[in-house]
Structure 1
Amino acid sequence: MVVRDNYTFSELEQWLNKNRVTEIECLVPDLTGVARGKILPREKFTEDRGMRLPEAVVAMGVTGEFPEEGPYYDVINPTDRDMHLRPDPTTVRIVPWATDPTAQVIHDCFDRDGTLVPFAPRSVLRRVCDLYAAEGWDPVVAPELEFYLVDRNTDPDVPLKAPIGRSGRAETSRQAYSIDAVNEFDPLFEDVYAYCEKMELNVDTLIHEVGAGQMEINFFHAHPLGLADEVFFFKRTVREAAMRHGMFATFMAKPIAGEPGSAMHIHQSLVSQATGRNLFSNEDGSPSQEFFWYIGGLQKYIPAAMALFAPYVNSYRRLVRSNAAPINIQWGTDNRTVGIRSPVAQPNARRIENRVIGADANPYVALAATLACGYLGIKNRLEPTPECKGDAYLGEFQLPRSLGEALQLLRAEHDLAAVLGEAFVTVYTEVKEIEHAEFMKVISPWEREHLLLHV
């Protein structure tokens, strides 16, 4: 059972009692989307209703490193002070794979004065949603999340490969939308769906994507904050289920050479709080001006937001020509070669799909960034380019080609920083620079193969 938006802490206590919970996983999503926090006995959680963690815990890179100096410490206090964490009762779920009755609750991060910590990913998404609410708009989103099942791999020097299914064989060819290929992993997906049902995750359809062992799960449309929480929970869930079946699930953007990358396509629309009408459609059912302005905002700001949509060096291996991933900011109706797609839909379901985002993106950050782009488009009345009705892969690259280039564009785009928060952009870009520097210390097999004796 999932608690609802108006749940109080006393009702949370009743929920914990009903489920006989003895332990609480107190979770905080960090910049990468990793679950940080503490595990508390039920009694301790009830007594404190929260906990403290150093504020840098949500502001480190995927390697666990921090910047040693620079603008990072204009935001992060060098005294390593604490954040005060408060549980959001609406996020409580049972941990279905735990031996003892265990709950998991996502926490928000506050400073000692009770202000949301501005660089915590959940705070950033709250900030953007508040801007929409101030305009009388409710953003509605629906993620489509791709991932790979791979054979267990304990040596990072060994390439990943497709896992063995129930037939005893691994996939060796493309199996897009194959029911039989999904059925190869029925025992795993039965557990995934059972876990999701116990957690009341808002998952819809499961399909086999193009790559060997590549799957996609779709989520029902809902409010961005709740859906970001669900994607966060789902990633934990499918990784856990996969390990229990002798394989790994990975959300890397490009885990296997020669196979398509994995995306997190996000469908988005706006609803009027006053009337409940889809603001992307006029009364006569035609596309509204807000629909076009939103696209214009995505076109203008996606290049600068790419470090948020494609956050790692590996992310840019996915964004290559003719590889089922966009290389452009063109838009089109029912056109999967563009970065910004408008699916065919009834007027009340008119929406825009951002196809640029990778599966490796932090769901809170990715949703905040794509909504920020659209928000700026409407506020600044940005007109889009003419609709692309052909193959957009035949055009030029319109996206940054590397993490370094993307970080430069993000730092230079002050409009996005104003919406997402200067503190967040500062911390994020400084952390990503550290990650990039760590990567540059590694000598790849390609370099040894082609440069060792030839240069």
Structure 2
Amino acid sequence: MADTPTSSDPQRIQQWLDDHRITEVECLIPDMAGQARGKIVPRHKYDPAVGLRLPEAVLTMTVTGDYPEKDYTSVADPDMHLLPDATTLRPVPWAKEPTAQIIHDCFSFDGKSVDLSPRNVLRRILKLYADEGWKPVVAPEMEFYLVQVEPDEDIPLKAPVGRTRRTEAGMQSFSMDAINEYDDIFDVMYDWCEAEGIQLDTLIHEMGTAQMEINLDHGDPLPLADQVFLFKRTIREVAIRHQMYATFMAKPMQGQPGSAMHIHQSVVGMDDGRNIFSRADGEASERFFHFIGGLQTYLPAAIAFFAPYVNSYRRLSRYTSAPINLSWGYDNRTCGLRVPHSVPQARRVENRLAGVDVNPYLALAVSLACGYLGMKQGLKPTEPLSGSAYEQPHQLPRHLDDAVEKLMQCAPLVELFGEHFIQTYAAIKDTEYREYFDVVSPWERRFLLLNV
């Protein structure tokens, strides 16, 4: 990755493609669900100076591939103009032929950024910070499960068989031997991530059966959102090639903990690189507390971005070691907002609300936006909690439809993200909820069929 171009110069992209003897180019954009959409183009037909086209309606698709009843793009179903971001140019390690992947940005043909593009949404929030002379620093932590291959979606998922030819017994938090059960998978994962420039930090075994956590090195939000986006593709591919699935569902298995994407956040000055959450004497600054105040004030209205599916709300329960409110505390993992012990320059806030099923661009954008509003409005947080937040009242929406309603009613978030984007996102979530509501579950058939 050292020779990957760091500018948008099409000539440098062409040179990289030539140097790596690329025969095909995967031209990617993340959609609202964080899925990779785009086109595969033969190398000899790919011109990074020209880009390519894709229907704008792709950005209004639900996770099932459906669309809201109302059109949130032009009724003419126009194309977007996709242009490559050269900093995202990477090989596809699992391809049989030399293949490149590159994330593209979405523009209209008059040169304006498409406001429904998740990458553009994150960019707009980062510009708000830049206008203040600030630069956010984030570090995502992703939890996921390895499970047995099961094509029938009516059959519950099961933990996979490891190298000992057995499934895990009980919960194996932080177990080295339990990680070693899947050494073949993780060896390939590290090799492929290194080839793609995905900066993995640590790997641990989480609480659930065959539940893992990968931490990424801290850095700029946009490149890290790209890495989360690409990591999900990568580990799914690794797992499939080892006859398993890797799943980023928030709550894939009954009786097991959910999977989160914890977001560590701090802010530094663009000029001096100093953490604005700390004063010169090392104590916490007012902006640090205002940032927490903004998260506490606005995250409840933004829950639809952090719990974007019906399944997401199965995780947010006091019985699953996940947040049920936005209490905050020092090194208190029961809180939705945790402040880890650190030196002053590394002072940060960990947002523990997000499930790993989020779109990483939107989750980072919204979390930073809530903190930004807190700093701009001088919002004060509650007192830090030293006890268990699970014993505190539930403060978050319990269902997706409630979350969407709260989002639509939050004028500051609508103003910050734009009415068109918020209405489109809400319509997508409403469509997904209605599709889910049509499904009759096994629980209903088991307990209601002959008993009511």
Q: TM-score range by the shorter chain?
A: over 0.9
**Match of 1:146, as an amino acid?**
E
Cα offsets for 1:239-286 (capped at 9, x unmatched): 000000000000000000000000000000000012210000000000
Counterpart selection for 2:79 from 82, 99, 109: 82
Specify the alignment match of 1:230 in structure 2. Answer: 227
Q: Is the 8 A contact 2:316 2:323 kept in 1?
A: yes
Question: Could you say what secondary structure the match of 2:81 adopts?
Answer: strand
Q: Is the 8 A contact 1:267 1:352 kept in 2?
A: yes
Counterpart check, 1:27 vs 2:24: no
Cα distance in 2 for partners of 1:9, 1:288 equals 44
Cα distance in 2 for partners of 1:177, 1:277 equals 34
Specify the alignment match of 1:13 in structure 2. Answer: 14
Counterpart selection for 1:442 from 415, 439, 442: 439
Cα offsets for 1:200-221 (capped at 9, x unmatched): 1111100000000100000000
Alpha-carbon deviation of 1:47? 6.8
Cα offsets for 1:85-105 (capped at 9, x unmatched): 011011000000000000000
Counterpart selection for 1:297 from 294, 299, 315: 294
Which runs of structure 2 are paired with 1:274-293 in the superposition (5 Å)? 274-293=271-290
Cα offsets for 1:16-58 (capped at 9, x unmatched): 1111111100001000011000000111112764111110112
**Match of 2:423, as an amino acid?**
T
Which runs of structure 2 are paired with 1:54-453 in the superposition (5 Å)? 54-69=55-70, 73=71, 75-453=72-450
Cα distance in 1 for partners of 2:243, 2:436 equals 29
Question: Larger relative contact order (C-alpha < 8 A, sep ≥ 6)?
Answer: 1
Cα offsets for 1:132-165 (capped at 9, x unmatched): 1111000000000000000001000000000000
Cα distance in 2 for partners of 1:152, 1:398 equals 37
**CA RMSD, 1 decimal:** 1.0
Cα offsets for 1:151-191 (capped at 9, x unmatched): 00100000000000000001131000000000000000000
Question: Could you say what secondary structure the match of 2:47 adopts?
Answer: helix
**Match of 1:174, as an amino acid?**
M
**Cα pair distance change 1:14/1:156, threshold 3 Å:** same
**Match of 1:11, as an amino acid?**
R
**Cα pair distance change 1:47/1:317, threshold 3 Å:** closer
**Match of 2:67, as an amino acid?**
F
Alpha-carbon deviation of 1:322? 3.2
**Match of 2:381, as an amino acid?**
P
Question: Could you say what secondary structure the match of 2:46 adopts?
Answer: helix
Q: Which runs of 5+ in 2 are unaligned?
A: none
Alpha-carbon deviation of 1:421? 2.2
Specify the alignment match of 1:53 in structure 2. Answer: 54
Cα distance in 2 for partners of 1:263, 1:330 equals 17
Cα distance in 1 for partners of 2:69, 2:298 equals 30
> How many residue pairs get matched?
451
Cα distance in 1 for partners of 2:198, 2:339 equals 26
Q: Is the 8 A contact 2:8 2:85 kept in 1?
A: no
Alpha-carbon deviation of 1:422? 1.8
**Cα pair distance change 1:17/1:267, threshold 3 Å:** same
Cα offsets for 1:291-311 (capped at 9, x unmatched): 000000000011111000000
Question: Could you say what secondary structure the match of 1:84 adopts?
Answer: strand
**Cα pair distance change 1:103/1:350, threshold 3 Å:** same
Cα distance in 2 for partners of 1:106, 1:53 equals 13
Q: Is the 8 A contact 2:144 2:211 kept in 1?
A: yes
Cα distance in 2 for partners of 1:421, 1:146 equals 31
Q: Is the 8 A contact 1:25 1:105 kept in 2?
A: yes
**Match of 2:60, as an amino acid?**
A
Alpha-carbon deviation of 1:7? 4.9
